[in-house]
Amino acid sequence: MAVEKVTLGKSITSGLRKAMERDPKVVLIGEDIGKLGGVFRITEGLQKDFGEDRVIDSPLAESGIVGTAVGMALRGYRPVCEIQFDGFVYPAFDQIVSQVAKLHARGLGAVKMPMVIRIPFGGGIGSPEHHSESPEAYFAHTAGLRTVACSNPEDAHWMIQQAIECDDPVIFFEPKRRYHDRAEYDTDAGSAPRGLFDAHVVRAGTDVTLLGYGPVVKTMLEAAAAAESEGTSIEVIDLRSLSPLPIATVVESVRKTGRLVCVQEASSFLGMASEISAQVTEQCFYDLEAPVIRVAGANIPYPPSRMEDDFLPDLDRILDGVDRALAY
């Protein structure tokens, strides 16, 4: 056992390294991912160790990156694309929803599409629009894509390896404001602690279920600790998989607590929290003690960095959501 304290960013790097060591068909492609190691240094050192044929610096053309990866996947490779920032993925949106998502069904199951598209997402780093967006609902809405989001170093290490091993295309969201968060875990463990598409109850509670994914999970845990000091017991769920949606874990928790607060950085209109609210209402109508509460970003374009603290769900807004759920 080798228990180490590792950042989320370097956990993804080690996960990529293990996947590349295990399978020579794993290749990385993206802008500045080679000698530079990517803008967030996630691929740092990998081109030096695995060569320019497996860590490919691409032109500044996201549609070209994804289109090239489609060709590689059709030829038996397992490409991993890096999109520098969330808002830069839109030039590749047509490739992803029109080609990547549909090839398996279009080929009547005979064509596999084992590729991963890594997207740093969310705000909180002092950057403006196109560098701080939350486009996850677009991809979760598109049938044929798997969509996941990691929130902590251990999950990041394992989830990227599991995503690369998946025969379906996976959109892999990385919470960029958590890249430097550290946590201890066994870096030599032989297997993942949970499946790629499983939710995780990260804190048990009895009064309210608090649900989210990616960057807000840490904030939810801080809110749960603050609420406990006032006598409220909160169960915290890290959703992890946005599509497929691990709704059974959520339903089990809501049937215990009777209250659900969904948290996301994305705007509330037609986001993940809206879908979860609908499914929980359908399945837990007679168990709910209060309406499902959504705590989300405002329905506006991402604001200038000086105003992002007002846009992003913080501890106070989450606790206000909990209070509103308990008020019924």
Catalogue the long-range contacts made by 267-270 (C-beta closer than 8 Å, 24 or more residues apart).
267/134, 267/296, 267/297, 267/298, 267/299, 267/300, 268/294, 268/296, 268/297, 268/299, 269/299, 270/137
- pLDDT score of 128 more than 90: no
- Work out the percent of the chain whose per-residue pLDDT is above 70: 100
Amino acid identity of residue 50, one-letter, is F
Active site residue 131: yes
Residue in 104, 131, 157, 200 annotated catalytic: 131
Lowest model confidence (mean pLDDT) among 18-22, 123-127, 289-293: 123-127
Q: Mean pLDDT throughout 139-150?
A: 98
For 212-247, the pLDDT digits (tens) are: 999 999 999 999 999 999 999 999 999 999 999 999
For 180-208, the pLDDT digits (tens) are: 999 999 988 889 999 999 999 999 999 99
Q: Mean pLDDT throughout 275-302?
A: 96
189 vs 14, residue with greater confidence: 14
- pLDDT score of 1 more than 80: no
In order of their start, the domains of the chain are 3-186 (3.40.50.970), 200-327 (3.40.50.920)
pTM over 0.85? The answer is yes
- Work out the percent of the chain whose per-residue pLDDT is above 90: 93
d(CA 274, CA 323): 19
